[in-house]
Amino acid sequence: MNLNPIENLALALLGGAVLLGLYRLLRGPSAVDRLVAADTLSVVITGAIVVVAWLFASALYLDVALVYGVLAFVGTVAMARALEGGRS
């Protein structure tokens, strides 16, 4: 598959964002920082799935990205509430 320079740039930027997110996820220093990094990674991965949908010209991947984004959001909210201590 031959990619044009814009597609290469998009993939490189997504890869860089994943690396930076993984670094913050692994290094911390606090649980809140790790949670924000995990949320950022979920957004970047959702964007990567959209780019894959564009590269393969398949709308099925857009449905996958939508479901993944919703589940990641719900997971992030649940983890934030757990870190907060369950206060209402």
Percent of all residues in the chain with a pLDDT value above 70, rounded to a whole number: 95
Determine the CATH number of domain 5-84.
1.10.287
Contact 42, 72 (CB under 8 A): yes
Q: Could you tell me the residue ranges of all domains in the chain?
A: 5-84
Residue 74 burial (CB count, 10 A): 10
pLDDT at 84 (0 to 100): 87
C-alpha to C-alpha distance for 31 and 51, rounded to whole angstroms: 30
| Average pLDDT score over residue span 11-29 | 94
Segment 32-46, tens digit of pLDDT: 999 999 999 999 999
Q: Which of 66, 68, 10, 76 is nearest to 37 (CA)?
A: 76
**Is residue 19 over pLDDT 80?**
yes
Cα of first residue to Cα of last residue in the chain, in angstroms, is: 51
